[in-house]
């Protein structure tokens, strides 16, 4: 392989905190309910990060093959399109990453359920397989779902429901109502990150026939959709803290409202692709902070 720098760029490290948000929230609420394991936490984070890296590498390869990465694109330089990494090298890296995901997933499932709980083992093995499929087929394949305005649905399911509820079940071995609203919150904000990315790339995506929700809506309605996602998440978070109120620490997450509200103010006046690109890190990190503070607010007592 070539020097490490192009690979680090291709892995898009700035996306990794967002991918672990659901794990953090699920772990905190499991801890609050009396169950915790360092092995499960570490392996869950490593598995999630490896899946996110797999998705990023696959997106780099897929967008290059489908023409979505070109000279008009705003944002981080893509490795395959720029020539820093060849398509063949990227495919080899994707195959290697799939093996890593499989090994980590099996280790995680064993740490959580052991040789018993066959149904949970089977369920999480299936979830692992579907997660790999989703990571690869966002932009790769003959009919990538990211090019058919289905990315938002998949992100909501995997970054919100599967990540948050799934991590909770790894500890508790059951689903509780307490984890449903946090999963919805993180799903909405994760879709917001994707929509922000798609608003940035709207014109470039139009040119190559990549249909995203932002392309379908147009920039004005895509902004309105973005407000619905972020404000919806803020409202659901507040409702959750009222319904499940225990002590004042439960409102610790309100600190994360500050950057999120400032983010919406910036988006309201955003016009150029660079305006949207500058907010990707803000929204991703704010989502991570919200997940962390929401969870920690219930284990501080």
Residue 72 dihedral angles phi and psi, to the nearest 5°: -85, -5
The set of residues, in sequence order, having a beta carbon less than 8 Å from that of 162 and lying 6+ positions away, is 22, 127, 131
Whether the pLDDT of residue 249 is over 90: the answer is: yes
42's CB contacts (< 8 A; 6+ apart) are: none
The DSSP line for the chain is: ---HHHHHHHHTGGGHHHHTHHHHHHHHHHHHTT---HHHHHHHHHHHHHHHHHHHHHHHHHHHHHT-SSTT--SSPPHHHHTSS-HHHHHHHHHHHHHHHHHHHHHHHHHHHTT--HHHHHHHHHHHHHHHHHHHHTT-SSS-GGGBT-HHHHHIIIIIIIHHHHHHHHHHSS--GGGHHHHHHHHHHHHHHHHHHHHHTHHHHHHHT-B-HHHHH-HHHHHHHHHHHHHHHHHHHHHHHHHT--SGGGGGGGGGHHHHHHHHHHHHH--SHHHHHTTHHHHHHHHHHHHHHHHHHHH--
% of the chain exceeding 90 in pLDDT? 74
Per-residue pLDDT at 10: 83
d(CA 31, CA 52): 25
Instruction: Using alpha carbons only, give the angle 27, 31, 37 rounded to the nearest 5 degrees.
Output: 70
Cα-based angle 266, 270, 272 (whole degrees, multiple of 5): 145
Q: What is the pLDDT of residues 202-231, one digit of tens each?
A: 998 898 888 999 999 999 999 999 999 999
Instruction: Specify the pLDDT at position 66.
Output: 65
Q: Provide the pLDDT for residue 1.
A: 46
**Residues 262, 289: Cα–Cα separation, whole Å:** 15
Please give the backbone phi and psi of residue 211, each rounded to the nearest 5 degrees, phi first. Answer: -95, 115
List residues bridging with 83 in a β-sheet: none
Structure tokens at 61: 């390869």
Q: Is the pLDDT of residue 3 over 80?
A: no
Q: What is the pTM of this model?
A: 0.92
State the Cα angle at 170 between 167 and 174, rounded to 5°.
105
Contact 207, 72 (CB under 8 A): yes
C-alpha 201 chain-centroid distance: 18
pLDDT at 9 over 90: no
What's the residue count for the chain?
Answer: 301
Compute the distance between CA of residue 74 and CA of residue 170 in angstroms, rounded to an integer: 39
pLDDT tens-digit profile of 278-294? Answer: 999 999 999 999 999 99
Burial string for 83-107 (b: 16+ CB within 10 Å, else e) reads ebbeeebbeebbeebbebbbebbbe
pLDDT digits (tens, 9 = 90+) for 23-64: 999 999 999 999 999 999 999 999 999 999 999 999 888 877
Rg (CA), the chain: 19
**Distance from the Cα of residue 101 to its chain's centroid:** 16
Average pLDDT along the chain: 91
pLDDT (tens digit per residue) in 167-202:
999 999 999 999 999 999 999 999 999 999 999 999
């Amino acid at each position: 392989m070539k020097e490490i720098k192009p690979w680090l760029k291709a892995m898009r490290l700035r996306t990794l905190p967002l991918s672990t948000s659901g794990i953090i929230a699920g772990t905190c609420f499991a801890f609050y309910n009396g169950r915790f394991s360092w092995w499960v936490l570490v392996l869950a984070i490593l598995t999630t990060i490896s899946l996110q890296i797999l998705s990023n590498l696959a997106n780099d390869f897929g967008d290059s093959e489908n023409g979505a990465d070109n000279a008009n694109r705003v944002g981080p330089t893509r490795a395959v399109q720029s020539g820093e990494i060849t398509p063949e090298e990227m495919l080899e890296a994707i195959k290697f990453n799939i093996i890593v995901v499989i090994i980590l997933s099996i280790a995680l499932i064993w740490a959580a359920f052991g040789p018993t709980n066959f149904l949970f083992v089977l369920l999480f093995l299936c979830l692992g397989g579907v997660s790999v499929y989703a990571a690869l087929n966002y932009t790769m394949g003959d009919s990538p779902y990211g090019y058919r305005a289905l990315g938002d649905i998949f992100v909501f399911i995997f970054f919100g429901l599967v990540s948050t509820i799934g991590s909770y079940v790894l500890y508790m071995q059951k689903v509780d109502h307490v984890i449903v609203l946090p999963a919805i919150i993180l799903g909405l904000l994760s879709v917001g990150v994707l929509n922000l990315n798609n608003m940035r790339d709207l014109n470039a995506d139009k040119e190559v026939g990549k249909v995203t929700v932002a392309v379908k809506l147009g920039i004005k309605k895509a902004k309105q959709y973005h407000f619905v996602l972020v404000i919806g998440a803020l409202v659901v978070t507040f409702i959750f803290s009222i319904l499940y109120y225990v002590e004042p620490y439960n409102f610790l997450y309100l600190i994360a409202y500050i950057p999120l509200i400032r983010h919406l103010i910036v988006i309201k006046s955003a016009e150029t692709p660079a305006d949207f690109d500058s907010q990707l890190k803000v929204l991703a990190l704010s989502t991570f902070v919200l997940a962390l503070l929401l969870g920690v607010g219930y284990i501080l007592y």
